[in-house]
Structure 1
Amino acid sequence: MTFSIVGYDPKEKEWGIAVQSKFLGVGSVVPFAIAGVGAVATQSYANTTYGPKAMELFGQGLSAEDVIEKLTAEDPDRALRQVGVIDASGRPASFTGEGCYDWAGGKTGEHYAAQGNILVDENTVEAMATTFEKTEGTLANRLLQALLAGQHAGGDSRGQQSAAILVVKEKGGYGGFNDRYIDLRVDDHPTPIEELIRIYDLQQLYFAPSSPDRVEAWTDFREELNKHLEVLGYLDHTKTTEQALRDYHHTENFEMREQKPGFVDLDVYEYMKTQVTRAK
């Protein structure tokens, strides 16, 4: 009762999985990935040992096809399994056991493997594949748009419940301390993919690097900025604008987008203005 897509970005060296299911907390079961090694989506009576085992096999130099062959050959319940993998070089492979409930199947292409089971029909997998191939932008955006297209094409025949996205990148995690570049889950929601995309947009606002063309000197709009900081409770007679803005960044978790003195990220500033509107 799950459909997923595993993908790779050769330019940014990112590996990722996006998944939706009529299943509580699918993000705790299906996706597994390690930067520089590969990514796995295990589903349909998921065998959660497939993720760690695949990483070990990738480390031995096996290709995506070889890894799936070895994983399933050693599994007595392989007829019930479905799995998609991407290896360190971005080579894909997908497997659907003959015991998976209809409609079940998968498709692979350049740097992706799409698969699903208990689907309305094959259009879900086809839509994921086509959308991933045609969509531009980041790996996360391509995976999410592919997942959304799969849902619009039919999706899980039993409905929707949870969705998740995992993207790994060397030193891509918070503070550069791990590889969990994007790790977001919607565990129980009537429209989990749309909710996942909403949370992803917030994640990008908080943690994506500032775009140079979206950074400006706030001295050009100091009066307006001061009013917003006052409404939100960050500026009073005891603080300078710079001190209040620093406190805003650190309290609202925008430290990753904090600029040198005298400058502000305009995306953060636009978000600040929406907070002010809600506060009034």
Structure 2
Amino acid sequence: MSGFASWIGGALGWTLGGPIGAAIGFAIGAAVDKATSKGLLLEPPKRTGQQRNKRADSVYDKRRRRVSSAQKQAETKSGDFEVSLLVLSAIVMKVDGEVSDSEKNYVRAYFVKMYGKERANHAFQLFNGILKKEDLSTREICQQIQLYMDHSSRLQLLHYLFGVTKADGHVSESEVELIEKIAGYLYINARDYESIKAMFYDPVDSAYKILEIDKSVSINEIKKAYRKMAKKYHPDKLQHLGEEHMKGAKEKFQHVQKAYEKLQKERGF
């Protein structure tokens, strides 16, 4: 448990308050209870989960009143992004009533790839606890994320969530509908949502959707759209999250490049 506690202490920032803090408090409480039942802890924690969550919500409310848009990028750290991923993944995975082993394995593999095995194991302990929590409010959690997280990081969250839905080879309509709702709560507009969705689902016009343009546009407009999207999805925009998140950012950027190359070939320019 000491390693888990150390990871929690080092990974979290603004997520310690509000609805995400409440979800984390529940998950930590579940992990502590499990460890206590196995004799790994000599004493239970002094504060109950309810007291911990109430205190976290109070801290969140105070910070919410003074946060500004300019602070978002500075305050969104790797640990905050990491926990946001875990909570939103749990919400999406539970929407169709069944969490498959392949979906869980995708989350574990993703975290191992990004953070290494030890940190991923701690993250998965937390993730399993969050999966057990029944009253997660999608709207409130997304409002907290939107309040503190910059736009580029929110786009990356959406990219990851589509990866989770495809992990088991079956994408339910309810999962896609929920991700679209999450995008709205995160203040991600419809064009950005369709752009990222097209990176995972390959309709005939996916290249146009990724570049956020219509089929009727001119070649010059395609070039202009490519420059705009390359700037929007450039990995440098996620440097503040740390090197561990750059691979996912590069994958998104590569989709833009491939979409442009496809249209170059189709339109002959």
Higher-Rg structure is 1
Tell me which protein shows more strand as a share of its residues.
Answer: 1
Higher-helix-fraction structure: 2
Q: Provide the TM-score with structure 2 as the length reference.
A: 0.28
Which has the bigger relative contact order, CA under 8 A and spacing at least 6?
2
Per the normalisation by structure 1, the TM-score is: 0.28
